[in-house]
Structure 1
Amino acid sequence: MSDPGFFGRAFALIDRLPSCRILVIGDIMLDEYVWGSVRRISPEAPVPVVAVSRETKSVGGAANVALNIAGLRAGVEVAGLVGNDPPGREVARLLRKSRIGLSGLIRDGKRPTTVKTRVIAHNQQVVRVDREGSESPSDGARSALHAAVRKRVRDCDGIVLSDYRKGALSRELVAEVVETARRRGIFVAVDPKQPDFSYYRGCTMITPNRSEAEAALGGKELPGDLELGEGGKALLRCCGAKAVLITRGEQGMTLVERGSRTVFHIPANARQVYDVTGAGDTVIGTFAAGVGAGASIRDAALLANVAAGVVVGEVGTVQITAEKLVRALQARERERDAALERPAGRAGRRTTPPR
């Protein structure tokens, strides 16, 4: 971490997080995990046989963004669509358990809750099974969601749009949210899936991964820092945002801010990478909570980078918490201090024999 004052600001920021309230709007799903081990190959086909030891469930999509914000002790409410089915009721139960406001959770009897089931053996994902409807949301559910958002946008410090292209975020809803936020003077942060970023025009921050950024630029490849910086500027022009934060996996992140001549490249913080599931949700959740609590966009991005490094070191959909984030920051601060001390320890040592 090259900014010597960041750690002090980060700890103070974490202390302020409970003072902000974020509204998360988007596509909600249920993540199921089947955990086990592989001891043999099936005689029926060349596939592993997984001996199941346990099964777990967690919220996914926009609900996972809200879960991460709640883990940071910020206030959070979620608005989106689920089916009128057992998975939808399980999503509601898990949100309630995590004390996330869910009065904006709308049940749509026309289509099922999206469920993603992952089979994990020896900490490796073997296969993923998706169950979801292809129907558009019903008119009644869409109207109810619009009404719920209008009511809840009055009481928040910032908004996250978590788009998985499952139908919750219509162009009309996005435009209405952006305009309402502009009038109220609050930010809108977007985790995009639409290939045309003008869909989110007027948002404040947008957090695509590298492949999403390349798709939004018509397939133009962004292999290095220079291309990412230029691509980020083009994306800002496309959606009118103040900042774009491009996540780059093991290469970290690139932050481009409107009006800044400097492109900010942030090295990855992960010590080990076991599973990237939900890492994007952690990034935008931490990023938005940081800005909502008064951080600069750059400090919020740095904090989000540390948070992402924590969750990719665990398997499955993992919630960041304030405690985990503090421990990660403390570890990196110790590493920084040790690195600063090493040159001083060598200062008096001769590297060539005296004459």
Structure 2
Amino acid sequence: MFQNLLQYIDKLQNQKIMIIGDMVADVYLEGKISRISREAPVLILEHSHEIVVPGGAANAVHNAAALGGQVYAVGVVGQDNAGDQLTRTLQAKKVNTDGFIIDKARPTITKTRIMAGGQATVRQQIVRIDRESKDMINPDIEKAILNHITENIHDMAAVIISDYGSMTVSPAIRERVIAACNRAGIPSIVDSRYNIMAYEGIKLVKQNESEAAAAIGLKTLKDSRQQQQVAETMLSRLNAEVILITQGPEGMTLYNRNGTNTHIPVTNVSEVYDVTGAGDTVVATMMLALTAGANYVDAACLANFAAGVVVRKPGTATTTPKELKAAIGEYYS
């Protein structure tokens, strides 16, 4: 398997992949602790700097681009600074953002984290402020997205739908994408936080344990037997081929419609640092691996190594082909 995984990495380059979903601007506002306010028992921070990094579906876009994929990003951004910065950041990574439709009446989905630290203190998040609209997208915006997808989807080697529940993926968009991929034989995957059972006909599904449990009305998954039952239920109801359930420090398990399942343990438990956005890394890597000729198991194994790299980094992060090769080489040495 060692040589197989390494050969796929080189083949990831320039594979065309479309990623559709809730594009998020993750804003980190950094400040140094100055003193306690006289107005209230809160910290006063001296503003240091601010950075904007891709989050949500944009994190999947960022990961696919970092691995060398030719990425076509499709989603909605507002006519605001967050949308401008997010677009510029992805364009700098050679992402095609022609599918970013600007909605003047809808803000870019923004998650602002206020980070505090100092010379003698640990940097930590003290509050997060989210800005997003929960309304259905405007019919004209939806039409523009559908037109862009229709014009470009047949040139893709794979498609990812990243649904964070912020209403970008409307029922019409969901149905159009699934139908087009199935007609053209294009592999498609969905990672949906709250609405996975609406994706009937999708070929691949990615869920974490809690999402999979909630999908069929459970609070938690008690053991591996129950997890398998949940996976089989979801595969049947969605008419999907495979479902990948990520399990945090326990790794991930790939369930196939043919009745086989493969558990993939984490590559290095001791170095887990921050799991934020690791699921986006998994779907991006897995789909690029499939375009490179990998089977489902090898693609999931490569995705597992990629996740093992990014969880060692703070916040939403990416991995490069060089880092991925090094991680695999270290594991098998």
Q: CA deviation at 1:59?
A: 1.5
Give the unaligned 5+ runs of structure 2: 117-121
Q: CA deviation at 1:136?
A: 2.3
Q: CA deviation at 1:43?
A: 5.6
- Aligned to 1:111, what secondary structure does the other structure show? coil
CA distance in 2, matches of 1:95, 1:326: 24
Which letter maps to 1:63?
A
Is 1:203 the counterpart of 2:198 in the alignment?
no
Q: Name the counterpart of 1:267.
A: 265
Q: Which has the higher strand share?
A: 2
* 1:69-121 per-position Cα deviation (integer Å, ceiling 9, x unaligned): 11111211101111122211112111111100111110011211111112334
CA distance in 1, matches of 2:167, 2:224: 34
Q: Name the counterpart of 1:346.
A: none
1:71-110 map, 5 Å: 71-110=66-105
- Aligned to 1:208, what secondary structure does the other structure show? strand
Residues 241 and 45 of structure 1, relative CA distance in 2, 3 Å threshold? farther
CA distance in 1, matches of 2:27, 2:247: 26
1:95-134 map, 5 Å: 95-121=90-116, 122-134=122-134
CA distance in 1, matches of 2:247, 2:43: 32
- Aligned to 2:12, what secondary structure does the other structure show? helix
CA distance in 1, matches of 2:285, 2:299: 7
Which letter maps to 1:156?
M
* 1:293-324 per-position Cα deviation (integer Å, ceiling 9, x unaligned): 11111111111111111111111221221111
Which letter maps to 2:331?
R
User: What root-mean-square deviation, in Å, do the aligned CA atoms of Structure 1 and Structure 2 show?
Assistant: 1.8
* 1:141-191 per-position Cα deviation (integer Å, ceiling 9, x unaligned): 111011011111021001000001111111121111111111111111111
Q: Name the counterpart of 1:252.
A: 251
CA distance in 1, matches of 2:127, 2:272: 18
Q: Name the counterpart of 1:353.
A: none
CA distance in 1, matches of 2:239, 2:76: 28
**Cα contact 2:197–2:215 (8 A) shared by 1:** no
- Aligned to 2:13, what secondary structure does the other structure show? helix
Q: CA deviation at 1:125?
A: 3.1
Which letter maps to 1:28?
M
CA distance in 1, matches of 2:278, 2:36: 31
Match of 2:21 among 13, 26, 30: 26
**Cα contact 1:110–1:138 (8 A) shared by 2:** no
Is 1:314 the counterpart of 2:321 in the alignment?
no
* 1:185-221 per-position Cα deviation (integer Å, ceiling 9, x unaligned): 11111111234x3311111111111111011011252
Q: CA deviation at 1:37?
A: 5.3
TM (norm. structure 2) is: 0.92
Which letter maps to 1:184?
A
- Aligned to 1:324, what secondary structure does the other structure show? helix
- Aligned to 1:194, what secondary structure does the other structure show? coil
Which letter maps to 1:326?
K
TM (norm. structure 1) is: 0.87
CA distance in 1, matches of 2:35, 2:321: 41
Residues 156 and 326 of structure 1, relative CA distance in 2, 3 Å threshold? same
Give the unaligned 5+ runs of structure 1: 1-5, 335-355
Is 1:58 the counterpart of 2:48 in the alignment?
no
Q: CA deviation at 1:35?
A: 3.3
Is 1:140 the counterpart of 2:140 in the alignment?
yes
Aligned residues: 327
Using the aligned pairs only, state the percent identity. 37
Residues 117 and 265 of structure 1, relative CA distance in 2, 3 Å threshold? same
